[in-house]
Amino acid sequence: MADQLQQVEKVLPEDIARTFEAAINVFQGKTEHMDDLLKNGGTLLRKVSKNFTSTQMILAVAALAVVSIVVVKKVADAQE
């Protein structure tokens, strides 16, 4: 049990900053940063998932899904 606790990766401020920066870029219409947002968001989610309850995990994944849907909708509207 103690070995498992030591293996948990700590969330660094850089992880949060990279995810936030990618999210801002995507919301500003720079869709080329969508891959960065998904990659950084997934990494951040993986790191914190060990500390989340199942309800918190479901809400985190739902939040990621909502952000993805909003971005896809904005891109679709911009192309019309």
φ, ψ for residue 8, nearest 5 deg: -65, 125
In terms of C-beta density within 10 A (0-12 exposed, 13-18 middle, 19 or more buried), how is residue 66 classed? exposed
Domain parsing of the chain, residue ranges: 31-80
Q: Would you say residue 2 has pLDDT above 80?
A: no
Q: Would you say residue 26 has pLDDT above 50?
A: yes
**CA 62 – CA 66 distance, rounded (Å):** 6
List, for residues 28-61, the tens digit of each pLDDT value.
888 788 889 889 988 888 888 888 888 988 888 8
Instruction: Enter the pTM of the model.
Output: 0.62
Cα torsion 33, 70, 38, 50: sign: positive
